[in-house]
């Protein structure tokens, strides 16, 4: 089954699913092998991990497409790609969709922030008009080769104009043809409950950021509220950061790796994750020896 078809089935499944974020091929592979049904190519994570900078709109479409292609090469489950604003107007959006579809996206998330954007849980955001975003959604839909490629529409209007404007935009984006709606950074349970209720008949995403603006809930709680996707975009990234920092602190302190085993994976785990045995089998197969 194509990855686009897999993702469309996930959207129709009555059970809410967790969508963890990856920032490279390694984390994409870990997410799949842990048993999750799909991968989120996180724009914030790619900016943090690949560029070393905060999520303030510094990545470009080519950089995102390159990372997505690495993820797609080593995994067999759908990849949802954070495409930020589409990196420009509706025409830029079409080019971005084509690039990301070629790279292996099964779904593409676009948002209504002004370019350059900021992390949805940062202050000081701005949004384009509802009408401009509707045009960008339609442009994204028209640019697809595979009509099963899902377009997810995100609004950041809660932090700019409030929940009423965000709900109005969400309904407009639904009418424009989006396959799922993502209202970013609601600040309390009352707002969370209103989103699926007042924008019915379409799958919804809840984005849970540890320390962010939205209260953390469990998968079952998200399901009871009516959310189809529980996005955990940078949990893997933050786990990796903490692990690397602790390992480097110990190395700096001890000037030795002798006490490192509790902080790092084993040699065997590393080679298993990166398929050394399979590569060696292929080397034998194609060498004729």
Of 202, 285, 276, 274, give the one whose Cα is nearest residue 26: 274
Beta bridge partners of 232: 20
pLDDT on residue 288? 78
pTM equals 0.96
Q: Does the structure show a pLDDT above 90 at 111?
A: yes
Which pLDDT tens digit goes with each residue over 207-241? 999 999 999 999 999 999 999 999 999 999 999 99
**Residues 83-88: what's their mean pLDDT?**
97
**Residue 17 pLDDT:** 98
pLDDT tens, residue by residue, 182-213: 999 999 999 999 999 999 999 999 999 999 99
Let me know if 59 is exposed, middle or buried by CB neighbors in 10 A (0-12, 13-18, 19+).
Answer: buried
Distance, in Å, from the CA atom of 188 to the CA atom of 230, rounded to the nearest integer, reads 16
pLDDT, the chain, mean = 97
What pLDDT is stored for residue 258 in this prediction?
96
Cα–Cα distance for residue pair 244/272, rounded to 1 Å: 20
Mean pLDDT over 10-27 rounds to 97
Q: Would you place residue 273 in the very low, low, confident or very high pLDDT band (cuts 50, 70, 90)?
A: very high
């Amino acid at each position: 089954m194509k990855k686009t078809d897999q993702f469309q089935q996930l959207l129709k499944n009555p059970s809410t699913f967790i969508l963890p974020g990856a920032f490279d091929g390694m984390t994409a592979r870990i997410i799949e092998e842990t048993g999750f049904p799909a991968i989120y190519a996180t724009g914030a994570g790619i900016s943090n991990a690949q560029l070393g900078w905060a999520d303030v709109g510094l990545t470009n479409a080519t950089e995102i497409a390159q990372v997505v292609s690495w993820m797609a090469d080593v995994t067999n489950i759908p990849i949802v790609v954070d495409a930020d604003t589409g990196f420009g107007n509706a025409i830029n959006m079409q080019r971005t969709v084509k690039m990301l579809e070629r790279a292996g996206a099964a779904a593409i998330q676009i948002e209504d922030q002004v370019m350059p954007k900021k992390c949805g849980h940062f202050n000081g955001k701005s949004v384009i008009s509802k009408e401009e975003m509707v045009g960008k959604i339609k442009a994204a839909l028209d640019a697809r080769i595979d009509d099963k490629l899902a377009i997810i529409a995100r609004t950041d209007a809660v932090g700019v104009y409030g929940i009423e404007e965000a709900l109005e935009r969400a309904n407009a984006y639904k009418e424009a043809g989006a396959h799922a709606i993502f209202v970013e950074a609601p600040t309390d349970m009352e707002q969370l409950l209103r989103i699926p209720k007042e924008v019915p008949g379409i799958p919804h995403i809840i984005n849970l950021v540890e320390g962010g603006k939205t209260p953390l809930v469990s998968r079952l709680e998200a399901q009871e509220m009516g959310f189809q996707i529980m996005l955990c975009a940078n949990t893997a990234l933050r786990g990796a950061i903490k692990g690397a920092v602790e390992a480097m602190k110990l190395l700096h302190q001890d000037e030795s790796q002798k006490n490192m085993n509790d902080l790092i994976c084993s040699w065997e785990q590393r080679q298993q994750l990166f398929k050394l045995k399979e590569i060696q089998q292929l080397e034998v197969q194609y060498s004729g020896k």
